[in-house]
Structure 1
């Protein structure tokens, strides 16, 4: 898991001249990841601000914010190749909770001004590796409804309401405080009781990843800072990514939307920020410390059965089973699954990797966000209303941290 330090990047974006980050001058600022609980950004506003604010377009100050947006878009259309205009508009959209618009602003600006690496850093901070993986065409919040939650197939758990309701930068445009009743009834952590992915496919995924690691210098161990895993990004293994993209489209995104119908209006709005095969080994990296992820939802796909190792699983600090009597205590809980099974949860919930004491455990963790705006408007509405230069063929809409090629 990881936590992104958005506050420092916010200051870089808003206070430094854009040309200070051109490739000829300063090296690209890197968003930090992997911090443990309590280290979330506490910036007062702008790009990466932790404050959620009122729903865009409502409440005090809404008219003033709309006026700021009009002023910034006017400036942008007058000077579309001025990177500072893109940086400022993107920061305003984050402040308003319009995260889908902010990501598009940063990506478009990065494509038009590729020499200014701050824009690509901002786009990657919000979107990660999302353009390397399959996703649908994003919908407005009121234009589609998620599939109904199917009966059976999952064991569901509640988390303390105060922890869930406290808005975190990981939540983006989602405010859990508005969904406490549904979250209590349906649960926020879900463990599948039967596989979603065929076991033979899981075995093939392990073999493909091990072969790739053997041919390319081994497993990575330093992609995350405070909670590093022994891993290989799915996007770096072409055959694995092709298989994974089909699973996203056919099984994984529909599953996630069905588990959180109150928070995900359509599976087409889901995006993978990062996905990677992790190897826990009793003789090497056997566990992962308690931490939080910097994304709206996380889930793990088990790639081998529990009888192939001892220990393991995802440990949560405070859970209780849905259906327990009111007032029942929350307690530490370890959740695991056999090959093809999943454990899904809000990324901000504190969790870790339980120690493997014998054998090897393989999983694919996914960091997922909802491509949505706080206003509920369809993603892309802002830029589609502007008269802007066309993007070059090699555009930042395909920007990706890890993949050498991208797919849609």
Structure 2
């Protein structure tokens, strides 16, 4: 609506001449109307609760912008018109003047067209809000169909042991942000997770999480499937058993000894046969174990948290380390004696250190392996918590 303000201007003049004075009658000018137009089909105010615009609002300025972080998911917008009879819409939807309207914000550019009208005249405003993309590339959890994994979002390397009977495993990671994506070994993950075959030994699984802004984070799981138990001692004993087809207990026809006609000659009993047999030398617990000199040693081994049961020596392979119940991860650092030796901590190849997860269980077993040329030595660290399994 345009309001017309009217004003009357009256000119009064008197002319005085010196010497001869001629009085002139008072001149009255006609009233002149001057029109001043004011547009009332406009916004009186525009306010947002969550953030500030790039400039202070003015009814005569029609365009505004704002940049917000990804955490800002919505805005509370209040619009007020100058004229109560005017209506206002946002992207075609009618809103009430003076009442707060909550609007969602998508990642990227959000454009809002605001139109004020009285049916005849119209004013248009444009509000552009740019929301930053999400940079969260973490996982919230990793679920496994077999094995145990104490997950922490900040820890990216894990070691999981499964029984020899487990021939495949299903892995289902959960991203921390809905806008992030995850792939396992380069493949898209289905709704039910990712299923893979497990050969005996170590299998490495890589989970790559990509945030909305393109930032990536890789989680690695080394899954160790145990070998089937092969009791070689039982096989040896089985091989030593007498063939059931040979009747060793069957009585034989006596053979006369030329020197002693009363002496008989029989087959040795199974026990005597075994006693007379030359048994092969066996390694491990069944025979003599020959210890060879190795250079695959650690010169030192340290941990960031915990109390050792014994001081470290390169010739002792197993240690128990007591940790508090609230400890969820530790950093293990080791230095091989040989510069060219390879170091693996909990399945993670490293130059000298790695951070590993400590489960919320009574014992967490971590292996530290040193490989030099053809030699390999494994140190075993058992982290003990005062927890009842």
Superposition TM-score, scaled by structure 1 size = 0.23
**Relative to total residues, which structure has the larger strand share, 1 or 2?**
2
**Relative to total residues, which structure has the larger helix share, 1 or 2?**
1
Superposition TM-score, scaled by structure 2 size = 0.24
**RCO (CA 8 Å, sep 6+): is it higher in 1 or 2?**
1
Larger radius of gyration: 2
